[in-house]
Structure 1
Amino acid sequence: MTEIVTAGILVIGDEILSGRTKDKNIGFIAEYLTNIGIDLKEVRVVSDDEPDIVAALNALRKRYTYVFTTGGIGPTHDDITADAVAKAFGVKIDHHPEVVARFQERFGDDLNEARLRMARIPDGADLIQSATILAPGFKIDNVIVMAGVPSIMQAMMDIVSPKLKSGLRMLSDTVKANAREGDVGGPLRDIAKAHPDTIIGSYPFMDEQGKPNTNLVVRSRDQDKLNAAMEAVKAMLATINAPK
């Protein structure tokens, strides 16, 4: 059987928890991982507090194949992600000579202590960088540490993804129920029990006429099992929506 590859996301930053900054990274990473066959299982958001970051990171990295972190690798005093990652792994952290050289070329006399903070990398980590990324992320063991700025984070995902192992991609199919969620809840539960190798979800919305409606989504790694469950869903809908 193909191995199931899993992931967790750790979002780091007081600005996210305060609502000052609206997260734009979780959805992108979730869709990205789904498309390459990695199941996102959990997302945590923690403040810029080293013990909290260490505790959350250690919990996630033991539970999942990969952990993706975003935020906290900038030049300010509260950018402590790299230090927290080093502490979680029990390794030293210091200025990476390759990054320092890049910064010296880029900043010259303007290379100050704050900018040099972004060159501090835990021992044993591999850099995630390119010509268009000034301050690198890094990967250490199964933890991928990325920037919080969406455009930079997305570039880092493109760099690191070819090096990740992936599993069998989750397939999905969707049908509009033309019924309220409460109308399909019972029959849908029976279908889910009859098709244990699928995941079936219902997602209510207001349709174009302003009436309550529901999208039904069936997911599976096996196309035949997906098709069988979807056929059962459509047959159920035909019965529910038949003229009385």
Structure 2
Amino acid sequence: MASEVGKGRVTAAVLIIGDEILSGRTQDTNLRDIAKYLAVHGVDLAEARTVPDVHEEIIAALDALRTRYDYVITTGGIGPTHDDITADAVAAAFGVELYEHPDIIDLIEARVRSRPGLEMNAAMRRMARVPVGGDLVRNPVSGPPGFTIGNVFTLAGVPSIMRGMLEDVGHRLRGGAVTVSRTVRVEGSGESVIAAPLEAVAKAHPAMSLGSYPFFDGSLYGSNLVLRGRDPDELSATIIELVYALKSAGIETVREIDAP
């Protein structure tokens, strides 16, 4: 499918699933890791949503995101307990049934055999369920794999396991041009001073992303101005324009802190 948010862009959304995230009991770090991973593969993370362990809400979010973006990555809800309902919701969203994947059953049985006294149970079998027509996403860390169907990748919520699964996602993505990022640091001037020159440069380069991130460290304050774009030459030219515009506005302490 073609992305609806920017011709030529390859886009993705992340759907974080779990009551524990919304309650604040668990702090999500997966979004950050996924965003960084996608950027390396030329895929823009365009939206992120967090939903509870509610069947209908997961389906509604999936249907909205998978029709708008090129890819959707879900995290959480594929474990062995009763509230791990992500596989059910993904299957429902695609209008297919779940089945026990024989490769996952084999993995679980091998684990059971390696641990005397452990027996296969219904909870373990829940983790073997995959939507009909789906493919597995390898799990090199621990436990059963995730799965993919259509343009949706369903990964574990545990950060270390999720990162391991991501390594089997990248080669399946249709990447775009990789976004390049550079930073101009302004010291001793607040955002109200830099706003006008920053806005002028941003309007002159609509294909670029320019963001201001203020900092305060004791007596030192200012902003890191982050510029992102796909054309390295335009990015370099924009950096020059921005530095000139800032200095013309009377801002003296301006320097690029990550020049190539």
Give TM class, smaller chain: over 0.9
Instruction: Give 1:103's aligned residue.
Output: 108
Equivalent position of 1:151 in the other structure? 160
- 2:121 maps to which of 105, 108, 112: 112
Does the CA-based 8 Å contact 1:197-1:225 persist in structure 2?
no
CA–CA separation in structure 1 for the residues paired with 2:232 and 2:9: 17
| Change over 3 Å in CA distance of 1:242–1:135 after alignment to 2 | closer
1:177 pairs with 2:182: no
Stretches of structure 1 that go unaligned for 5 or more consecutive residues are: none
Alpha-carbon distance in 1 for matches of 2:252, 2:136:
59
Greater shift in the superposed pair: 83-92 or 179-188: 179-188
* Separation in structure 2 between the aligned mates of residue 130 and residue 50 of structure 1, nearest angstrom: 25
Using the alignment, how far apart are the partners of 1:26 and 1:78 within structure 2?
Answer: 21
CA distance in 1, matches of 2:124, 2:235: 51
Partner of 1:16: 21
- 2:98 paired residue number: 93
- Provide TM-score, normalisation by structure 2: 0.89
Which of 48, 60, 66 aligns to 2:53? It is 48
Answer 1 or 2: which has greater helix percent: 1
User: Hey, what does 1:30 align to over in structure 2?
Assistant: 35
- 4+ aligned runs moved over 4 Å, structure 1: none
- Say whether residues 1:83 and 2:102 are aligned partners: no
Q: How many residues align?
A: 241
- How far apart, in 2, do the equivalents of 1:203 and 1:148 lie? 29
Q: Any idea what the Cα deviations from partners look like across 1:153-193, whole Å, max 9, x if unmatched? A: 00000112112110001111101011211110111111111
Please give the root-mean-square deviation of Cα atoms over the aligned residues, in Å: 1.5
Residue 201 of structure 2 corresponds to residue 191 of structure 1: yes
Establish whether residue 236 from structure 1 lines up as the match of residue 245 from structure 2.
yes
Letter in structure 1 aligned against 2:59 = V
2:171 alignment partner in structure 1:
162
CA positional deviation for 1:130: 4.3
Q: Tell me, yes or no, if structure 1 residue 141 matches structure 2 residue 144.
A: no
**Structure 1 length as normaliser, TM-score?**
0.95
Between stretches 45-54 and 99-108, larger displacement belongs to 99-108
Q: C-alpha separation between the residues in 1 aligned to 2:252 and 2:44?
A: 37
